[in-house]
């Protein structure tokens, strides 16, 4: 069963452990579609945030459990003044994790529709037939 978790400090299956740009790309597009529908600006992808999202998705997949990372290093290393994170597992596509998962949860929805965020990164890894996803938001 799919699961979600949020934290703020503010269909082919690939081989195990493969980074999934198509999954992440559709999640970013779905996130920006939701923001556009709410009259909010589009989030821009950020390389620094991407490193943290990729690391988190890989760690969750390796441990086969969902958990949040410490966001303090993201604040320092990515030079952002606010940061948020959504994590999930078990959703088969980037569109599904956003539209069927995060948008149906108040905390996740709040991160996606936070008018202060301007940057985003999404990474997904598959392990044991289940997707593990990390979405990181930021604002400089």
Question: Beta 44-45 vs 119-127: how paired, if at all?
Answer: parallel
Distance CA 54, CA 135 (A): 9
Contacts of 14 (CB under 8 A, 6+ apart): 20, 126
Per-residue pLDDT, 19: 44
Per-residue pLDDT, 24: 96
Per-residue pLDDT, 3: 64
Distance CA 60, CA 83 (A): 19
Q: What is the mean pLDDT of residues 96-125?
A: 98
Per-residue pLDDT, 21: 76
Per-residue pLDDT, 10: 36
- Is the predicted pLDDT of residue 6 greater than 80, yes or no? no
pTM of structure:
0.86
Q: What is the mean pLDDT of residues 42-46?
A: 97
């Amino acid at each position: 069963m799919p699961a979600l978790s949020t934290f703020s400090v503010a269909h082919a299956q690939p081989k195990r452990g493969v980074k999934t740009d198509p999954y992440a790309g559709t999640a970013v597009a779905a996130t920006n579609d939701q923001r556009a529908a709410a009259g909010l600006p589009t989030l821009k992808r950020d390389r620094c945030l991407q490193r943290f999202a990729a690391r988190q998705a890989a760690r969750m997949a390796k441990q086969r459990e969902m958990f949040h990372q410490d966001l303090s290093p993201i604040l320092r290393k990515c030079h952002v003044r606010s940061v948020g994170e959504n994590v999930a597992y078990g959703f088969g596509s980037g569109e599904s994790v956003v539209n069927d998962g995060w948008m149906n949860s108040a905390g996740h929805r709040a991160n996606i529709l936070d008018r202060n965020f301007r940057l985003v990164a999404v990474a997904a890894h598959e392990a044991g037939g289940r997707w593990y996803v990390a979405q990181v938001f930021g604002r400089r």
